[in-house]
Amino acid sequence: MAGTNVLPQLINSKRHVEDSYHVRISLPFINPKTMKQLKSSLWLMAVLVLLAACSADEEKETYRPMTASSVNGTVYVEVQDGEKTVSPSAMLYECKFSVFGKASKRTLNVDAYKLDDVDVFRFFADLPDESVMKFWDTAEGKRGEGYADAVIMIDRVKLPMRFHYAYAAVPNAEKMLGGTSIVIKSVEYQGKTIDPYLHNKHFKIVLRKQEQGYSVE
C-alpha cells in the first residue's frame, strides 16, 4: 500500500516541476498611439543629432578667404626640362599638371598662357583664410600677412608649397572704396622662401626637372 501512495506523489511532483517552466510574464500594455509618438520622437532625435554633427563639421571646415578691394594672387609657372621649356598645353591635355588648394579644398583652374613670349601655366592661388591672418597698425594704416597652402602635381610628383601674402589698408579704409589690398609676395618650398619679384615683374616660379623630381626657383 505504501508503494501505491508513492506513485501519485511522484506524478504530482512532476506536474509541479513542469508547471514551473511555464511561468507567464505579463508585459505592460502600450497604447498604439503612444508607441507611434515614441517612434516619432526617436526619429526626430536621430535627425537632430545628425544635423548638429553636420553643422559642426561644416562650421569647422568653412573656408573664409581674406577679402580686399584689390587682390593679386596670380601665379605663373614655367617648367623646364634641360634647356627646353615644356609645353603647358600638352601637359594639361595629358593631365600631367594640376594644382590643389588646401585652403579651399578644391582643384584650382589652370590654363596655358604666354608671358613675355614664354609658355607658362597660370592659376589663381587660394587667398589666405581669415583665421591665419595676422594684423598690426602702422602710421600708414593697417598691415597684415597670411598664407595659403597648395600642392602642385606634375608628372605624378607632388610639390607642396606655401604662398605668402601681404595685406595693406590705408587709414579709414572702411570709409572709402579701393582702400585695401592683398598681394601674393613669396612662395615657400622645402623650407626655402623664394621671391619671384627679385628677377621678374610677375609672380613667376620655375620648376626645373631633375633626375628625381623638380627643383623650384
Following DSSP, what letter does each residue of 89-103 receive, concatenated? HHHHHTT-EEEEETT
User: Residues of the chain with pLDDT > 90: what percent?
Assistant: 60
Please give the average per-residue pLDDT across 128-157, as a whole number.
95
Question: pLDDT tens for residues 51-72?
Answer: 655 554 545 579 999 999 999 9
pLDDT (mean) for 133-155: 95
3-state secondary structure 131-181: HHCEEEEECCEEEEEEEEEEEEEECCEEEEEEEEEEEEECCCHHHCCCCEE
The pLDDT score that the predictor gives to residue 2 is 47
Q: Check pLDDT > 50 for residue 7.
A: no
Map grid coordinates 623638380 to a residue: 214
C-alpha cell at 108: 584650382
* 210 three-state secondary structure: coil
Long-range contacts of 131-138 (CB under 8 A, 24+ apart): 131/64, 133/66, 133/167, 135/167
Q: For residue 3, what is its C-alpha cell?
A: 508503494
Global pTM? 0.72
Which phi and psi (to 5°) does residue 136 adopt?
-155, 160
The residue type found at 156 is R
Q: Does 102 have pLDDT greater than 50?
A: yes
Residues 6+ apart with CB under 8 A from 38: none
Q: What is the pLDDT of residues 161-202, one digit of tens each?
A: 999 999 999 887 776 777 899 999 999 999 999 999 988 899
Cβ atoms of 114 and 48 closer than 8 Å = no
Q: What confidence score (pLDDT) does residue 212 get?
A: 86
Instruction: Kindly compute the dihedral angle of the four CA atoms of residues 156, 159, 160, 166, in this order, to the nearest 10 degrees.
Output: -130
Contact present, 80 and 208 (Cβ < 8 Å): yes
